[in-house]
Amino acid sequence: MICFFDTSALVKLFHIEEGSDTVESIISNHENEIWVLELVRLEFFSSISRRYRQGEISEKDLSHVINDFEEQVQNFNIEPMGSVVLREAEHLMKEYGAKDFLRSLDALHLAAFHLLSNGDWNFVCADEKLCNAAEKLGMEIINPLDYCL
């Protein structure tokens, strides 16, 4: 199975929360091909830093999670965030931004997935609004909050 992760789902691999088991199962299956947008690195660091600031994780855990992420991400296929992805994200914002509450960074993930995917790809996302926009594009969705393996 080919899976494209957005940050909302990927962070569940490194911070135990609802949906973490599903994400771990998908990523640990060596038959699966894992893709992410280059932006996932910046968003991941922002997300895990917020958890530290809010007292959800300790400074020691923050360092550990960042190191684990750095190691794991090397095993993923990383799609560059070039001008083609940016233009597609602009198109998606015009189409879905006002009606479906699509946000700019989410539009970038969705754009990259939309450009890369064909019938056997899955968009792995734990953000309900982003899942809804992806479904309107006819994409296969795995929401770790709803999905049971």
Amino acid letter, 55:
G
- Of 49, 113, 44, 126, residue with least CA distance to 81: 113
* Nearest-10 Cα torsion for 122, 129, 134, 131: 20
pLDDT tens digits for range 24-33:
999 999 999 9
Residues paired with 5 in a beta bridge: 36, 124
The predicted-structure confidence for 3-20, as pLDDT tens digits, reads as follows 999 999 999 998 888 889
Is the pTM value of this prediction over 0.85? Answer: yes
Domains in the chain, please, with CATH?
Answer: 2-142 (3.40.50.1010)
